[in-house]
Structure 1
Amino acid sequence: MAINLSQGGNFDAEMGRPELEKLGGTRTSIHEGDKEDKIPDRSPASSFEDSQVDTKFQPGVQDVEAVTISWSKTSLAISYVLIWFVYALQGIVSGVSGSLLPYITSGFAEHSLTPTTSVISAVIGGVTNLTIAKVLDIFGRPQGYFVCIILTTVGLIMSAACNNVEAYAASQVFYIVGINGIGYSLSVFVADTTTLRNRALMQSICQSPYIITAWFAGPIATAFLNGPGWRWAFGMEAILTVVVTLPLFGFFMYHFMKAKKQHLVPKHSSGRTLLESAIYYLREFDAVGLLLLSAGVAFFLLPFNLYMLQAKGWSSPILIVFLVLGIVLLITFGIWERFFAKTSFIPWSILRDRTALGACFASFTLFLSNGCWGAYFTSFLQVVNGLSVTHASYCVQTMTVGSILFCIPAGAVVSYTGRYKPLALYVALPLTLLGSGLMIYFRQSDQNIGYIVMCQVFLAISGGAFMVTAEIAIMAAVVEHQYFAVSIAVLGMFSSVGTAIGYTISSAIWQKKFPESLAQHLPPDALPDLAVIYGDIMTQLSYAVGSETRVAIQHAYADAWKYLMIAATASWAIGVVSVLLWRNINVIGIKQTKGHVI
């Protein structure tokens, strides 16, 4: 799922950027029962002709407005074709990498660390979207997109060359920041070129390649595992990334230069020296805040992932240092943002709006819940249900395909009715509670795999509805075009932090419950191999289905899985409250973009 740094206060006066107004009651009209909440047309475009670029906006926003004003409807259509192909690439790369992950960690005898390798990358990938938002707004959409292409390619090359879990985890930081940034940049492109009413529908159509690519990931991963090896898979992905993503970059740059020749792009001159520019951008991107938050969350979460690997458990000095350091860094981040940051890393003004805040926490809960069980799901299907890598990937991709399939009618409903809250409240919430709750029961090896698929369909429908409604909710609350990038980035940050916390919960439960249950169920002759069985999925799969040892391993999986799904289901208490916070805003008639848009 596509799933994807601006100040909430003053912008640079030299660039002609206004102070962000406070969000809240003064900006909305709320009627009784939240049934008829309406936001009047607050778009700056309402006071300008569609043929004019709003010079009060940030340079990157001005540039994209110049492009949409100057290009034709044919160019708009071509851009969406290219976006479709980039989403197809993202689906293949993400699917193949996810299918290979258990085998990569097992290759280093660290299968239990499967989710841990993604914790740091998920955190950094989330918070850096706010930095990418700054690049998109200040330097331009194509420029930020190009940076993400470079990061993705570097990360994939590093993955192909890694020799241990630590090196692989480091490569994932580059890869996740890059691949999430590509998806995030595409979301901003779609927002720039659509009306709010049709945005969810067009975003869903652009993500429709996942319906096709979902079925390719398993066979491709299997072919590489049975052939040249997983390293060559990453090499292939690096080449594909460059070949597929660059045409869209070139297309946008061509139209930007065309708009520039037509004198539609305002000239920007800061008058700063090189040193002054470096200081300015460090402040504008809030580099200190970015470092403090990323490091603080990562150090705080890592001990929960690693404590079972330490001989002294929680008494291990390194874990105590990590935990204390994480808490200190997070407190320091709060102090820095409150008293010292010239440009706030987190746009607090946006989060003061209850609809925007509720959308963020709904997205946070969705990814936290999925993170509680998603990292071990492929392993579970292979070991407990006896599926091959290919068939396991098909089952995993059921949720991806179902989410995208439902996104399209969900987007059409929002486009037709102008409402998004009923879809989340009366469709998404009940189905996600039903799907995750039933997974607690259908975790046993004697249950038909069809029941697992059924639960995945329920979760897919709810996930698709939340993907559509959360993004529309925050963008309906934060209407102005210049805040598109940052609002999507804030939503993505909450999603990524939710994923990281979900992975942490998953890892902590797994490392505690799985080896304990193995020790209880393994036959006496297999007990000496407990550590090897625990750390390597290939060893787990080497025991024949129906053998005493394989049955014991399946029981251990099921025991640990129960706690994973209980955590995933219980987390939705946050989600229920979050959706109830939303105002029922009618998005029909809210004008945000100009030029040739959909």
Structure 2
Amino acid sequence: MSSSSPVAPATDPADDQAPVALDKRVVYVIFAALVAAMFLSSLDQSVVSTALPTIVGDLGAVADEGWIVTAYLLAIAIVMPIYGKIGDLFGRRWPFLVSITIFLLGSLGSALSTSFEMLVTARSFQGLGAGGLVILSQAIIADIVSARDRGKYLGPMGAIFGIAAVVGPLLGGWFTEGPGWRWCFWLNVPIAAIALIVAFFTLKLPSQSSTKRFDFLGTVLLTLTTSGIVLLSSWSTVSPTRKYDWSSPWLILVLVGTVVAFALFVWWETRVDEPLIPLRLFRDPVFSVSVSVALLLGIAMFAALSYLPTFLQMARGVGPTDSGLLMLPMMAGMMITSIGSGLLISKTGRYRLYPMIGMAVATGAIVWLTFITGSMSMVLFGAMIFVLGFGMGLVIQTIVIAVQNAVDPSEVGTATSTNNFLREIGAAVGTSVFGTVFTSRLIGNLDSVMDRIPKGTLPEHMHANDLTPSMVKDLPEPLHTDVVNAYVDAMAPTFWYLVPVAAVGFVLSLFLRDKALSTQAGLQARGESLASG
């Protein structure tokens, strides 16, 4: 039950200018803090990508470099549903402030790390905060802005993902070549500190005193399930440094444990009074279609994006920073449609059309990517990824609006976290599957090339797994062309594995229905007012 007093009556629901719970100037200030927080969370998923070789080299852990990324993503995925539920039960002000603080401390620990173990621990801690930044930012917007007006705010938030995906590798490369990789984490400290201060003084959301019991057992079971999925995705990906494959009894044991934990989670959630993720939400067709599209979007789109910089570096011979610059068209496409669709949704009150068009365009873009070649024009490549970003921008935040509008205002955090959680799981699984198929084909192609090389051309100890972008660039002809073709012949067909996934997402989007967007902010719908402190 809320301890706050009711707000003044809302304005006429038919008013095109949908009411908000706060003065718009205050909303903009809060929004700026939320955008900064979400940008930090998204940025840290990509900023270390170009710095990884240097980081693990400095810390002496080349064989375990994947843990720096896995630890962060695993922590984010685990805590997303937890933050969503806690926000619904007890209010979002303090969980948001705590998540920023945790992220700030994790960033500080990462920057000061003197060992690989310390860095992985700090990255995990950082992820525990980052998961809250994403979920609570979107849920807070739902608290202070009506669903009808929400597109104006969630649209730019959706663009943040595209911006971070490009800016992250650029900054990572620049820091690595300049002041040092630790600045990948030092950068977060002042921005997070400012966001924390702004949020503390402006984010006066009400606290709640709920008599409902938090679902601790469901949390444990979902944590085990999530950990299993992410670890299976990470460990089963074929790579030169892999420790496990599907012949390993450890991997089989993790798989069995994950299936059992998931089955127990589903069983428990149907019996507990206040489930972590209420399965009854899936009975709503708008909710179930939207989160299903989020899952498939994560599998198809993020898998495609993860390996395109590799193509640019290995096939085109560009550096890490330049490969990030060449991804700018994708960011432009996403920004245009994410912001544009948000404005149109606010103006028309309809959202169904945008995921349909977005999934169709994105599916077409993935089909187009199957035609990449090592000698293709970078203008043509830019057009391909622009179209991909154009499609993604129409989907990512639109389905968040649909999900939030489909549930009771008291469950908006849970709905938001479920959508984002499934997208993250999809991204982990999709990237793993794509990586496994691509790398398996690549190793076979490269081994075939290396077998044809006359003895003495390369050092005797060198094999396919040793090739780096700089080494490929310096290879003599025709060996250079053969290696580039090996990469292209491995990657281009692999995109076909993503096409059916994206196509299913498009078909599902056809079943999405427009549901009248609420003209009341979440606080108003729940009869709550701003907290006094």
Residue 132 of structure 1, CA deviation = 0.6
Kindly report the root-mean-square deviation, in angstroms, between the aligned alpha carbons of the 2 structures: 3.7
Structure 1 contact 84–207 (Cα < 8 Å) conserved = no
Question: 2:236 aligns to what?
Answer: 304
Residues 1:293 and 1:430: Cα distance change in structure 2 (over 3 Å): same
Superposition map of 1:299-378 within 5 A: 299-305=231-237, 313-338=245-270, 341-378=272-309
Structure 1 contact 286–344 (Cα < 8 Å) conserved = yes
Residues 1:438 and 1:215: Cα distance change in structure 2 (over 3 Å): closer
**Greater CA drift, 358-367 or 129-138:** 129-138
Query: Secondary structure, in 3 states, of the residue corresponding to 1:229?
Result: coil
Query: Secondary structure, in 3 states, of the residue corresponding to 1:376?
Result: helix
Residues 1:251 and 1:307: Cα distance change in structure 2 (over 3 Å): same
Structure 1 contact 99–393 (Cα < 8 Å) conserved = no
**Code of the aligned partner of 1:559:** D
**Greater CA drift, 451-460 or 379-388:** 379-388
Question: 2:513 aligns to what?
Answer: 583
Question: 1:136 aligns to what?
Answer: 87
Residue 110 of structure 1, CA deviation = 8.8
2:186 to 208, 224, 236: 236
Query: Secondary structure, in 3 states, of the residue corresponding to 2:435?
Result: helix
Give the Cα separation in 2 of the matches to 1:394 and 1:565.
22
Residue 456 of structure 1, CA deviation = 0.9
Give the Cα separation in 1 of the matches to 2:180 and 2:425.
32
Residues 1:120 and 1:406: Cα distance change in structure 2 (over 3 Å): same
Give the Cα separation in 2 of the matches to 1:560 and 1:399.
22
**Greater CA drift, 504-513 or 95-104:** 95-104
Residue 419 of structure 1, CA deviation = 1.5
Greater share of helix = 1
Give the Cα separation in 2 of the matches to 1:384 and 1:367.
25
Superposition map of 1:177-216 within 5 A: 177-205=128-156
Superposition map of 1:287-302 within 5 A: 287-302=219-234
Residues 1:169 and 1:411: Cα distance change in structure 2 (over 3 Å): same
Question: 2:429 aligns to what?
Answer: 501
Question: 1:8 aligns to what?
Answer: none
Structure 1 contact 214–394 (Cα < 8 Å) conserved = no
Give the Cα separation in 2 of the matches to 1:330 and 1:91.
27
Structure 2 contact 152–339 (Cα < 8 Å) conserved = yes
Residue 124 of structure 1, CA deviation = 4.3
Residue 216 of structure 1, CA deviation = 5.3
1:45-67 CA-to-partner distances (Å, cap 9, x unmatched) read xxx974289xxxxxxxxxxxxxx
Q: Percent same amino acid among aligned pairs?
A: 18
Residue 459 of structure 1, CA deviation = 0.9
1:463 to 388, 392, 410: 392
Give the Cα separation in 2 of the matches to 1:591 and 1:208.
22
Structure 1 contact 112–510 (Cα < 8 Å) conserved = no
Residues 1:312 and 1:143: Cα distance change in structure 2 (over 3 Å): closer
In the alignment, structure 1 residue 250 sits paired with structure 2 residue 182: no
Give the Cα separation in 1 of the matches to 2:209 and 2:369.
56
**Code of the aligned partner of 2:187:** E
Give the Cα separation in 1 of the matches to 2:207 and 2:103.
32
* Uncovered stretches (5+) of structure 2, i.e. residues with no partner: 11-19
Query: Secondary structure, in 3 states, of the residue corresponding to 1:314?
Result: coil
TM-score, length-scaled by structure 1: 0.75
Question: 1:561 aligns to what?
Answer: 491
Paired residues, what number?
A: 512
1:452 to 360, 366, 381: 381
**Greater CA drift, 544-553 or 391-400:** 544-553
**Code of the aligned partner of 1:555:** N
Residues 1:549 and 1:501: Cα distance change in structure 2 (over 3 Å): same
2:442 to 510, 514, 517: 514
Superposition map of 1:99-114 within 5 A: 99-101=50-52, 104=55
TM-score, length-scaled by structure 2: 0.83
Structure 2 contact 142–150 (Cα < 8 Å) conserved = yes
